[in-house]
Each structure stands twice: as C-alpha cells, then as structure tokens.
C-alpha cells in the first residue's frame, strides 16, 4: 500500500504502455509480486497533495484495507509553500506512524533526495527538507519503521535522475529509488537500476540562463499560477490504484509496466 503525492504516484516516469505514470512504487510492487504469488498492491498517492490531505484522505482508506506494508511519503509540497508549519507536520507524522504501526503493518518512511540546487529559493527549501528528513529518521527509530535514506545517496545530485521540471524524478531516478526501497526490504533488484546515467555536459553561462528561462516559462509559471488561484495539479484526480489488486511482474532489465497505471493529465492545469 502506497500513500503520498507525486513522488509516490510516479511522476515523471511514463508507463511504457502509454497509459499513465509508473514510478518507483509500481516497480517495487511488481518485484515483490515475483516473490509472492498472492501479492496485491494499491497506490493512493495523488500529485500535489499536501501533508494533511494525505493523512486525512489516504491513510484511513489505506488502513481499511489492512495492508502488511505501507509506504508513507509526504510534506514535500508543504515545504514549497510560504505557510510551511514544521512543528505541526512533525507532530502529526509522529501520530500517523504510530497509528500505522499499531495496525500491525510495516511502514516505509523516506529521507528525501536533495533537489534544492536546481530550484529557485533553494536556500529556503533546504532547511525545510532537513526538518522533514530528520523527522523521518526520528519516527523510524521511535516506532520501528523502515527508513529509505535517499538523502545519503550523492548520485541524486546527477541532473539525469530528475525530470525536465527539476522537481520530479526521471525514469532513471525512479528505478534508483526502487532499488533503494527493495534493498531496505531485503529483496534483490535488477543491478542496472543503480547504474548512474551520464551527467549532462556543462553549459555555458548564456546557455544555462536560456535553459532557466525556458524552465520558468514551462514549469515555474504554471506552478505559481496554481498557487495564486488556490488550485493543485491533482485537483479532481483519483488514485491510479485505489484498491489492492494483483500486479503483473516486470521484465527484469527493462523496468516493464506494472498493471493498472492510469491517469496521465496535463500538470500545467
């Protein structure tokens, strides 16, 4: 069972079948399905979701299905907003992880990879990311949850692991996250998932500024517009896998699609 936002929904890893986004959670589920014929998987994550909506909407739905393993990742969207309230998020994370563990489920938490170097306002966002990451480690230790430490992986400084929007992971980035998750679970993955893609060649100052301008027009401006109008990229979108269901095994080495990945939408809306 996976709950969260765009990180867990799978942006920006297009499903090879062309029907939606895949992402690390689908890859992990498909690999686990190879180990357990009776394995079932649900993914309730929706892009753009803030921490409180994840807790209020997705966590109760997840618990009603009585899963054995729950991944919880949230707070990243909150950290990008002016009203970020770290004390409230950390306190509620404590409550949520306690509740999830009390259900009998194993819980996966994340220390997020560092993306601040590529974003405007990175100096503001970085200490907020540290608060979230420190809280994930604290809650994992306190409640006996499993911790996936992406922050400690310096290879996530490679721009090739990130989408052109500089915020979401690329397909290679999602494969790398999946490998880390499986390692924490004690399950092998395709070794190629940890292969480091070549880093882009350095740009001249002029070329870099042109790239920044293109990025601002295509990705930053729509994001700002949504903030000003009180909208979210996930408004009206349902989870891509709302109920526990069997998963098709992946083709090792190719990262083939897990069944049921749906709902590609225009994220500029």
Domain 2-196+203-245 belongs to what topology?
Answer: Rossmann fold (3.40.50)
The pLDDT value given to residue 175? 98
> Among candidates 247, 241, 249, which has minimal Cα distance to 259?
247
Mean pLDDT, rounded, for 48-69: 97
Q: How confident is the model at residue 236 (pLDDT cuts 50, 70, 90)?
A: confident
Mean pLDDT, rounded, for 193-216: 81
Q: Taking all residues of the chain, what is their mean pLDDT, rounded to a whole number?
A: 87
Q: Measuring CA to CA, how many Å separate 33 from each of 28, 78, 91, 268?
A: 9, 33, 34, 34
- How many helices and strands (H and E) does the chain possess? 10, 6
* pLDDT tens for each residue of 4-20: 999 999 999 998 887 78
Q: How confident is the model at residue 223 (pLDDT cuts 50, 70, 90)?
A: low
Six-digit token string for 159:
């721009």
Cα–Cα distance measured from residue 32 to residue 210, given in angstroms and rounded to the nearest whole number? 43
pLDDT of residue 260 exceeding 80? no
169 within 8 A of 177, measured Cβ to Cβ? yes
- Entry pTM: 0.88
Q: Tell whether omega for the bond before 12 is within 30 degrees of 0, i.e. cis.
A: yes
* pLDDT tens for each residue of 122-162: 788 899 999 999 999 999 999 999 999 999 999 999 999 99
């Amino acid at each position: 069972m996976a709950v969260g936002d765009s990180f867990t929904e799978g942006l920006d890893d297009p499903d090879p079948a062309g029907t939606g986004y895949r992402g690390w959670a689908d890859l992990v589920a498909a690999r686990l399905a190879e180990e357990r014929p009776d394995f079932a998987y649900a993914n309730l994550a929706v892009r753009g979701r803030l921490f409180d909506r994840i807790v209020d909407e997705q966590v109760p739905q997840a618990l009603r299905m009585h899963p054995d393993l729950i991944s919880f990742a949230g707070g990243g969207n909150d950290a990008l907003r002016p009203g970020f309230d770290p004390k409230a998020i950390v306190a509620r994370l404590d409550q949520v992880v306690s509740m999830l563990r009390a259900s009998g489920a194993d819980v996966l938490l994340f220390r997020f990879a560092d993306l601040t170097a590529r974003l405007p306002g990175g100096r503001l966002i970085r200490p907020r990311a540290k608060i979230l990451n420190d809280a994930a480690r604290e809650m994992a230790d306190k409640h006996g949850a499993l911790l996936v430490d992406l922050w400690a992986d310096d290879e996530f400084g490679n721009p090739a692991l990130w989408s052109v929007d500089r915020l979401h992971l690329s397909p290679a980035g999602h494969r790398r996250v999946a490998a880390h998750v499986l390692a924490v679970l004690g399950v092998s993955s395709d070794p190629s998932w940890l292969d480091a893609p070549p880093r882009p060649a350095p740009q001249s100052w002029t070329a870099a500024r042109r790239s920044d301008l293109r990025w601002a027009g295509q990705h930053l401006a729509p994001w700002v517009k949504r903030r000003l109008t009180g909208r979210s990229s996930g408004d009206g979108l349902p989870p891509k896998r709302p109920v526990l269901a069997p998963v098709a095994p992946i083709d090792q080495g190719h990262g083939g699609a897990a069944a049921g990945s749906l709902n590609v939408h225009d994220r500029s809306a």
